[in-house]
Structure 1
Amino acid sequence: MRPDILVVEDDSSIAQFVAASLSAEGMSPRVAATAAEARGELRASMPRLLIVDLGLPDADGVDLIAQWRSECGVPILVLSARMQEAQKIAALDAGADDYLTKPFGVGELLARVRAMLRRAAAAPAPAAQLRIGALAFDREARSLAVDGREVHLTPLEYRLFERLARTPGKVVTHRQLLADVWGGDQVDQLHYLRIYMGHLRAKIEADPAEPRWLLTELGVGYRLADE
């Protein structure tokens, strides 16, 4: 079956270029020029992947990504002319899986799309609920509680915790976490991971300096304790 991909782009020339490239690769693209059109397309049928421009005429792309990420787990690839690091981080924080800056080559676009589809297809379906001691995680409700106290997580913090919670007790390498949470072009940005792991520990651990659940494997990665 041809993967269904929704391209949300108000520049018709770029939208047509992306759609034609995806179609030639054996995919089935749909195009929406506005946030309103995209919402209609999503209501009609959920795609396998979203490709989203940040500069839409009727909504800010970052806000839109945050809204969609709270409603579904579809991978999101950002296409944008915004090149500043803070703008990229804002989109990734909101819930985007990867970021491609305009102008871009068709080869890189297709490689990233293929990689995101592979990761989504290969990911095993994790249990809806996970309980480890006083820690309770519910994927369907997108909620996390410690000792009965609900912990508010930002979209990116949630994605980082959820990635570790897929394989409790097993180490997830720095590069795996960076690729799965921030995107394939961020695998060398270890400071992102350290900063957000610090945020998570501050919210979850009784003593962030002596973590009970979010454990460090020196030089390798992190794991979520399973007992």
Structure 2
Amino acid sequence: MPVRVLLVDDEQPFVMGLTASLRQAGYDVSAAHDGESAWAAFREQAPDLVLLDIMLPGVDGLELCRRIREHSGTPVIMLTARGEDVDKIVGLEIGADDYITKPFNVRELLARMKAVLRRSAAVPAAPERLRFGAVEVDLARQAVTRGGRPVPLAPKEYDLLAFLAQHPNRVFGRDELLQRVWGYDFPGDDRTVDVHIRRLREKLEEDPGRPALILTRWGKGYYLADPPEGRGGLGS
């Protein structure tokens, strides 16, 4: 499955050219041209990597990076035409993973993207505690609570929940969940995923028959809703 990249920049020719180069390199690219539309796209698409210009209309890139960091450990590479050290320092201090100044060689950007993606795969996503309504997933302790009370989960139930929690609002098919959570050599079938989803709903949802947290997109797969959807349920 190709890596999903969200490119955020208000220069249309630059976006068109870089999008073409990244797609040629095998990336799945979507683009946004201002801070608010970029934030909406990030929440909807849950990309694997964000390329983020600092100078944007409305919400600037630094503020957008702060928002992303408050909700996700998704890697962020800052792009800017300005070369002042202060921008680099501020960008890295608020959680950017790398920084590159325009104009740049696309091959250098691709190398930086690969390095950032490798690092992000080797460490837990930040923040270490992820909260979805009444449900909190503590990645550091590998523990789950609902309304402040511990929820006992089997190891693979926790692994599945933690994986979905680190990619909120992103839909994963059964086959991809088997690969990402159970491993490529897992001998089971996709019904294993359905069973674990059902068990998680029974333990975490207010009404397992009308889930508000772990949802199904018919014909596509499962996702964890942030904020929880439905009747208020866990978010109330």
- Compute the TM-score of the two structures, normalised by the length of structure 1: 0.54
Paired with 2:40 and 2:92, the residues of 1 have a C-alpha distance of 24
CA contact (8 A) 2:72 2:125 kept: no
**d(CA) in 2 for partners of 1:54, 1:139:** 30
Residues 74-130 of structure 1 show CA distances to partners (whole Å, capped at 9, x for unaligned) of 00001101211111101111111100000101110111111111222233679x58x
Shift of the 125–98 alpha-carbon distance from structure 1 to 2, 3 Å rule, reads closer
SS at match of 2:51: strand
Conservation of the 8 A alpha-carbon contact between 2:74 and 2:125:
no
- Aligned to 2:19, what secondary structure does the other structure show? helix
In the alignment, is the contact (CA less than 8 A) between 1:22 and 1:29 conserved in 2? yes
Name the amino acid aligned to 1:46.
Answer: A
1:53 maps to 53
User: Match for 1:105: what amino acid?
Assistant: N
The answer for unaligned runs of 5 or more in structure 1 is 130-137, 141-227
Structure 2 counterparts to residues 1-227 of structure 1, below 5 A: 1-123=1-123
Q: Kindly tell me the number of residue pairs found equivalent between the two proteins.
A: 132
- How far apart are residue 45 of structure 1 and its match? 1.7
Q: CA deviation at 1:71?
A: 1.1
In structure 2, C-alpha distance between the alignment counterparts of 1:42 and 1:28, rounded to whole Å: 14
Q: Distance in 2 between matches of 1:52 and 1:109?
A: 12
Change beyond 3 A, Cα 1:109–1:125: closer
Partner-residue secondary structure (3-state), 1:78: strand
Which whole-Å CA distance do the structure 2 matches of 1:96 and 1:37 have between them? Answer: 19
Q: Residues 42 and 124 of structure 1: is their aligned pair in 2 closer, same or farther, counting only changes over 3 Å? A: closer
Matched residue of 1:83: which SS? Answer: coil
Secondary structure of the corresponding residue to residue 19 of structure 1: helix
For residue 224 of structure 1, what is the aligned residue in structure 2? none
* Residue identity opposite 2:80 in structure 1: S
Unaligned 5+ runs, structure 2: 130-137, 141-236
Once residues 112 and 73 of structure 2 are traced to their aligned partners in structure 1, the CA distance between those partners, rounded to angstroms, is 17
Moved over 4 A (4+): none
Give the TM-score taking structure 2 as reference length.
0.52
